[in-house]
Structure 1
Amino acid sequence: MHKKELVLLTQAESLERLLHRLPEHHPQRQFLQIELYRSAAGKRGEDRLARKLVEFSPEENYRFMQNVCLSLGEWKIQIDGLLLTERGAIIMESKNISGQLYFDNQTSEFSRTDLEGIRTVMEDPTTQLNKNIRFLTKFFKLHKINLPIKGIVVFTSKQCEFIAKPQNNTVCKTYQLIDYLFNILNSFPDLATHPHLSKIEKILQKHHSPYKRIPLCQLYTIAFSELRTGIYCATCKNHQMIRKNRCGWVCELCKSVDPLALETTVQEYFSLVHTHISNKQLRQFCNIDSSFVASRLLATFDFEAAGALRNRTYQLKNKN
Structure 2
Amino acid sequence: MIGKVREFPKEIMILEAIVRRFPADDYRKADFEKKLYRKLAGYKGEKTLDYHLSQIDHSEMLILQDLRIPINDTFFQLDTLIITPQFLLNIDSKNYAGTLIFLPEFNQLIRVQNDIQEVFSDPILQARIQASQLKAFLKKHHIDPPPVEYLVAISNSQALIKNPDHDPDVSYRVFRSSFVAYKIPQVYQKYPKAILSKNDMKKISRHLIKAHQPLIPDNKTMNLPLDQMIQGAQCPSCETFGMDYRQGNWTCNYCGNTSKDAHIQALKDYFLIYGPFITNRQFRELTNINSTTTANRILTSLNLVYNGTNKGRTYSPPKNFFDQ
TM-score relative to the length of structure 2: 0.81
Taking a change above 3 Å as real, the CA distance of residues 293 and 81 of structure 1, as seen in their structure-2 partners, is same
Question: For 1:124, which of 112, 122, 125 is the aligned residue?
Answer: 122
2:190 pairs with 1:187? yes
CA deviation map 1:177-209 (0-9, x unaligned)? 222221112212513553333444344333332
Give yes or no for contact 1:155–1:171 (8 Å, CA) kept in 2: yes
Provide the TM-score with structure 1 as the length reference.
0.82
Distance across 1 between alignment mates of 2:144 and 2:48:
30
Q: 1:138 Cα deviation (Å)?
A: 2.3
Matches within 5 A, 1:64-213: 64-72=63-71, 74-116=73-115, 118-141=116-139, 142=141, 144=143, 146-164=145-163, 168=169, 170-188=173-191, 190-192=193-195, 194-196=197-199, 197-213=201-217
The residue type equivalent to 1:150 in the other structure is E
Aligned to 1:3: none
Query: Contact 1:86–1:194 at 8 Å: present in 2 too?
Result: yes
Q: Following the alignment from structure 2 to structure 1, what is the Cα–Cα distance between the partners of residues 41 and 82?
A: 22
Q: Alpha carbons of 1:198 and 1:232: their partners in 2 closer, same or farther (altered >3 Å)? A: same
Q: Which residue is equivalent to 1:256?
A: 257
Report SS of the residue matched to 1:106. Answer: helix
| Mapped contact 1:66–1:79 kept (Cα < 8 A) | yes
SS in structure 2 at match of 1:281:
helix
SS at match of 1:211: coil
CA distance in 2, matches of 1:114, 1:231: 39
Q: Distance in 2 between matches of 1:302 and 1:308?
A: 16
| Residue 41 in structure 1 maps to residue 45 in structure 2 | no
Percent same amino acid at aligned positions?
22
Aligned-partner Cα distance in 1 for 2:144–2:263: 46
Q: How many residues align?
A: 308
User: Given residue 183 of structure 2, which amino acid in structure 1 is its aligned partner?
Assistant: Y
Matched residues in 1 for 2:43 and 2:151: separation?
A: 18
Amino acid at match of 2:35: E
Residue identity in the other structure for 2:284 = R
Gaps of 5+ in 1: 1-6
SS in 1 for 2:156: coil
Change in CA separation of 1:63 and 1:193 when aligned onto 2, cut-off 3 Å: closer
Instruction: Look up the match of 1:4.
Output: none
Contact 1:8 1:270 in 2 (8 A): no
Alpha-carbon RMSD across the aligned residues, in angstroms, is 3.1
The answer (yes or no) to whether the contact 2:104–2:122 under 8 Å persists in 1 is no
Partner secondary structure for residue 132 of structure 2: helix
Q: 1:56 to 1:143 in 2, by over 3 A?
A: farther
The 1:221/1:166 distance shift into structure 2, 3 A limit, reads: farther
Q: Please give the alpha-carbon distance, in whole angstroms, between the structure 2 residues aligned to 1:267 and 1:294.
A: 16
Deviating more after overlay: 10-19 vs 182-191: 10-19
Supply the AA of the counterpart residue of 1:212: I
TM-superposed CA distance for 1:23, in Å, is: 4.0
Alignment of 1:50-65 (within 5 A): 50-57=50-57, 61-65=60-64
The whole-number CA distance in structure 1 between the counterparts of 2:196 and 2:21 is 57
- For residue 154 of structure 1, report the CA deviation from its aligned partner: 0.8
Kindly provide the amino acid, as one letter, of the partner of residue 124 in structure 2: T
Distance 2:51 2:232 in 1: 38
Q: Is the contact between residue 101 and residue 161 of structure 2 (CA under 8 Å) also seen in structure 1?
A: yes
